[in-house]
Amino acid sequence: MLISLSEIMNTKNKVEHILAPIEMENFVFEGNSYTFARKDPVNLIITNLGNRKVLIEGSVKLSLILFCDRCLKDLEYPMDITIDKEIDFKLTEAERAKNLDEANYITGYNLDVDILIKDEIILGFPMRLLCNEDCKGICMTCGIDQNEETCDCDKTVLDPRMSVIRDIFNNFKEV
């Protein structure tokens, strides 16, 4: 959803309350597409601070369907996002881009809510997510979920740096 900030910029000390829906269907990050389990509208408060500055405050509750990093089960990951951004329109777009904050969700006097929320989701995205601390993951040989079944596969993990020495011993078993 695009919100025009030009009307708010025209009136000093103007405060605008906006309930903006999130229009993106899926969250795409690092080549993966994640679906939303919950997607509330974004509650925004946009305030004209005067001197060509705008304060954007807001909050939203949402949750994404992510995958356990070990067993690949679906997990619901809730997020409470709060937004507190001050935008200085005295700066050019290039100068604002140097701050690396407003460059992509502000175009001219338009605020793109989806890009703003996407940036905030990326900041809060977990580096690693497990279904539980004791998750055993999937077997690297046969692919079964080791939380539900056990297998008889060899689980020995050999150091790859020792592969040359292992080859020597395998080729010369005369001892």
Of the chain, the percentage scoring pLDDT greater than 70 comes to: 94
Is 110 found in the same domain as 48?
yes
14 and 65 belong to one structural domain: yes
Ranges 10-14, 45-49, 168-172, most confident: 45-49
pLDDT higher than 70, residue 175: no
pLDDT tier for residue 171 given thresholds of 50, 70 and 90: confident
Tens digits of per-residue pLDDT, 120-157?
A: 999 899 888 899 999 999 988 888 988 898 888 877 77
Does some domain include residue 131?
Answer: no
Counting the structural domains of the chain, the total is 2
**Please, what is the average pLDDT of the chain?**
86
Indicate whether 105 and 146 sit together in one domain: no
DSSP assignment of the chain equals -EEE-HHHHHSTT-EEEEEE----SEEEETTEEEEEEEEPPEEEEEEEEETTEEEEEEEEEEEEEEE-TTT--EEEEEEEEEEEEEEETTS-HHHHHHTTSSTTTEETTEEEHHHHHHHHHHHH--S---SSTT---B-TTT--BTTT-----------GGGHHHHHHHHH----
- Domain limits for position 169: 136-175
Residues 21 and 97 in one domain: yes
What average pLDDT does range 27-55 have in this prediction?
91
In this predicted model, what pLDDT tens digit does every residue of 83-105 receive, in sequence order?
998 888 877 777 766 665 655 78
For the ranges 57-66, 106-115, 160-169, which has the lowest average pLDDT? 160-169
pLDDT score for 41: 94
Q: Is 119 among the domain residues?
A: yes
The per-residue pLDDT for 99 is 65
Residue 150 within any structural domain of the chain: yes
